[in-house]
């Protein structure tokens, strides 16, 4: 199992992602440079958090046109597993690999906090190790994390089981107070129709050691061999 972690100018969680995959989880991982097109034979791709291209124009809008993203799109269209975390999620939406968009938090504040999210489906490579209904505690750190989509898209997502994670309270309810940023339907992460591309705002790669507050993030990086 070999991961590729894409580095854009302005990415800042790429090192944490590589550390999480290699040092903590003992998997193979390699950095992929935004100007390259070669994916170096990786089995799965991670688009990390950060502020690619300074968040100019819109978050993720410019990263989408970098040479590596053409290869990432081809990889995704061929069914390869791709996960986008935070800025990576924004890039996947801008690239049209995931439905919807991320806009400024309802509060207008940058939020740095721990949240609870509920796993809504295990039919993606990244949630295959999770139980449906399982609650994960993960950190968030974003200013543009409010998930929006039109009504038709939202009902398609709901009906197809494409909502992967929802912000919930300790009781597992997707309540208004558990929603940190105003995301519609408390959505914290979604997948495409095929289920191989997943984006989420919370940071599983920052929650892999108890010393740093929790290990719940580890589960999302245990991909089943059937996807490879």
Partner 1 sequence: MLARVYVTPKKAILDPQGKAIAHSLHALDYPEVIEVRMGKYLEVRLTGLSRAQAERRVEEMCRRLLANPIIEDFRFELVEE
Which residue, among 129, 140, 116, 91, has the nearest Cα to 221 in the 3D structure? 129
Residue written as tokens 């968009």? 101
Under rule CB under 8 A, residue 176 binds partner 1: no
Residue 81 near residue 125, CB atoms below 8 Å: yes
Geometric angle at alpha carbon 67, from 62 and 54, rounded to 5°: 25
Q: Which of residues 97-156 bind partner 1 (CB under 8 A)?
A: 100-101, 103-108, 146, 148-150
The nearer residue to partner 1, 62 or 208, going by C-beta atoms, is: 62
The whole-angstrom separation of Cα 23 and Cα 65 is 31
Catalytic site includes residue 86: yes
The nearer residue to partner 1, 1 or 61, going by C-beta atoms, is: 61
The nearer residue to partner 1, 41 or 113, going by C-beta atoms, is: 113
Q: Which residue of the set 20, 59, 93, 205 is catalytic?
A: 205
Under rule CB under 8 A, residue 77 binds partner 1: no
Catalytic site includes residue 74: no
Q: Which of 15, 58, 137, 185 binds partner 1 (CB under 8 A)?
A: 58
Under rule CB under 8 A, residue 2 binds partner 1: no
Q: Which residue of the set 20, 86, 93, 130 is catalytic?
A: 86
Residue 163 near residue 226, CB atoms below 8 Å: no
Nearest distance from C-beta of residue 163 to partner 1, angstroms:
17
Counting Cβ atoms within 10 Å, is residue 172 exposed (0-12), middle (13-18) or buried (19+)?
Answer: middle
Distances, alpha carbon 171 to alpha carbons 25, 27, 117, 135, 184, in Å: 30, 34, 11, 9, 20
Binding site for partner 1 (CB under 8 A): 57-58, 61, 65, 93-94, 100-101, 103-108, 146, 148-150, 182
The residues annotated as belonging to the active site are 86, 203, 205
């Amino acid at each position: 199992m070999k991961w590729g972690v894409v580095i854009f100018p302005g990415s800042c969680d790429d090192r944490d992602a590589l550390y999480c995959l290699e040092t903590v989880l003992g998997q193979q991982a390699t950095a992929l440079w935004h100007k390259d097109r070669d994916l170096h034979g990786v089995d799965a791709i991670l688009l990390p958090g950060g502020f690619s291209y300074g968040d100019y124009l819109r978050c993720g809008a410019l990263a989408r046109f970098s040479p590596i993203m053409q290869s990432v799109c081809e990889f995704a269209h061929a069914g390869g597993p791709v996960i986008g975390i935070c800025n990576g999620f924004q890039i996947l939406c801008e690239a049209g690999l995931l439905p919807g968009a991320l806009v400024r938090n309802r509060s207008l504040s940058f939020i740095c906090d721990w949240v609870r999210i509920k796993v809504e489906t295990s039919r993606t490579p990244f949630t295959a190790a999770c139980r449906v209904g399982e609650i994960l505690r993960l950190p968030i750190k974003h200013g543009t994390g409010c998930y929006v989509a039109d009504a038709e898209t939202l009902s398609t997502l709901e009906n197809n089981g494409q909502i992967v994670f929802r912000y919930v309270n300790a009781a597992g309810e997707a309540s208004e107070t558990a929603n940190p940023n105003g995301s519609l339907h408390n959505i914290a992460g979604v997948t495409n129709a095929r289920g191989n591309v997943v984006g989420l705002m919370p940071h599983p790669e920052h929650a892999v050691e108890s010393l740093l507050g929790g290990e719940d993030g580890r589960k999302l990086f245990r991909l089943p061999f059937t996807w490879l």
